[in-house]
């Protein structure tokens, strides 16, 4: 059944966000998205706005500031109509921090120190062309050898919230124990984690707790690194992306993965939908605390994202999809 774009509260903040978020990683370009074109990216943002998407998620590390800059240009004049989230904690400004990876010649470290967060928020505000960030995430928890106590990180985030530079606080890729630390200081409204039909761990591990605490789950990679996009076939050459290189679903289990996608396609066909739209609709149907981040780089990418938000699944569909996913999980574990 078709509906309209849905809007959901962020945590218990009172702030409403479109149920699907424009994921702005790809518009940053760089080695993972070398074909990114700024004018096409801006057109994609405008297409999303026209379709009812009001929520946009970026991070400084996406193109080393470029994603935020393009997003700021695209949203000029529309700032009051949208919710912008961005992040801190993946730092390349100096040598301080725990080494994480090297992208486009930059050595990126995990660093959640008050010093670097204060620098990062000012840079993000400048690039986005705004005086406040609606939701400010820590991108990843601290990791050895450079570990900032979580209470110090929370303290600086509360300071920035008191100053009005950020309105709400989120945490990305964090365990429940970190969420509990934030909750103890009334310092969190939303948690960003990977969640898809191919990766449902968060549904049992964390989501019930978030629901109990009236917090939101910002689900990223809803199409399983592109596998649920429906564009792959047995003869496809899977382009290396770093994350796909080590993913057995694109390696030893690729044919099983394609068979699973075919099963999803059969369900989608019954509903007059696409596999991507079905995959997004599933996540939204699991809980009204879920908001889905759809990676969008071109205007043509908007349609499936919006269709997923508008698709209302008939009763029993979530259970049917869970059964297919359970069988797929069992098949890949036993192979």
Decide the pairing of beta strands 106-110 and 90-91: antiparallel
Active-site entry in 62, 137, 220, 282: 62
H or E stretch at 125: helix 114-128
Active site residue 62: yes
In this structure, the chain runs to a length of 335
Contacts of 18 (CB under 8 A, 6+ apart): 5, 6, 7, 52, 53, 54, 55, 83, 291, 309
Q: β-pairing, 20-23 with 98-103?
A: unpaired
User: How far is it, in rounded angstroms, from Cα 204 to Cα 199?
Assistant: 11
Please give the C-alpha separations between residue 329 and each of 324, 326, 332, 334, in angstroms, as whole numbers. Answer: 9, 5, 5, 9
- C-alpha distances out from residue 199 to 65, 158, 172, 236, Å: 29, 32, 16, 22
| Residues ≥6 apart with Cβ < 8 Å to 287 | 207, 211, 217
Tokens read off for 127: 């690039």
Asked if omega into 145 is within 30° of 0 (cis), the reply is yes
| Catalytically active residues, by annotation | 62
């Amino acid at each position: 059944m078709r509906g309209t774009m849905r809007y959901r509260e962020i945590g218990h903040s009172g702030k409403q966000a479109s149920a699907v978020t424009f994921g702005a990683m790809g518009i940053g370009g760089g080695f993972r998205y070398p074909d990114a074109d700024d004018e096409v990216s801006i057109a994609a943002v405008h297409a999303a706005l026209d379709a009812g998407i009001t929520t946009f998620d970026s991070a400084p590390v996406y193109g080393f500031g470029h994603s935020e800059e393009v997003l700021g240009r695209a949203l000029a004049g529309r700032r009051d109509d949208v919710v912008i989230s961005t992040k801190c904690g993946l730092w390349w400004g100096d040598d301080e921090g725990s080494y994480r990876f090297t992208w486009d010649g930059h050595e990126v470290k995990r660093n959640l120190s008050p010093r670097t967060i204060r620098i990062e928020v000012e840079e993000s505000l400048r690039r986005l062309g705004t005086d406040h960030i609606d939701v400010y995430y820590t991108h990843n928890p601290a990791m050895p050898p450079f570990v900032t106590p979580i209470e110090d990180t929370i303290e600086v985030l509360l300071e920035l919230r008191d100053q009005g530079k950020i309105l709400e606080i989120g945490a990305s890729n964090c365990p429940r124990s970190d969420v509990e630390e934030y909750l103890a200081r009334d310092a969190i409204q939303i948690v960003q984690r990977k969640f898809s039909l191919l990766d449902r761990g968060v549904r049992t591990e964390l989501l019930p707790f978030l629901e109990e605490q009236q917090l939101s789950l910002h689900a990223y990679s809803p199409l399983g690194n592109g596998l649920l996009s429906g564009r792959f076939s047995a003869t496809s050459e899977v382009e290396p992306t770093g994350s796909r290189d080590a993913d057995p679903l694109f390696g030893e289990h690729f044919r099983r993965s394609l068979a699973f996608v075919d099963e999803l396609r059969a369900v989608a066909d019954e509903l007059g939908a696409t596999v991507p739209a079905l995959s997004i609709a599933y996540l939204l149907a699991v809980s009204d605390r879920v908001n889905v981040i759809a990676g969008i780089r071109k205007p043509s990418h908007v349609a499936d994202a919006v269709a997923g938000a508008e698709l209302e699944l008939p009763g029993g569909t979530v259970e049917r999809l869970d059964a297919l996913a359970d069988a797929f999980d069992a098949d890949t574990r036993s192979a």
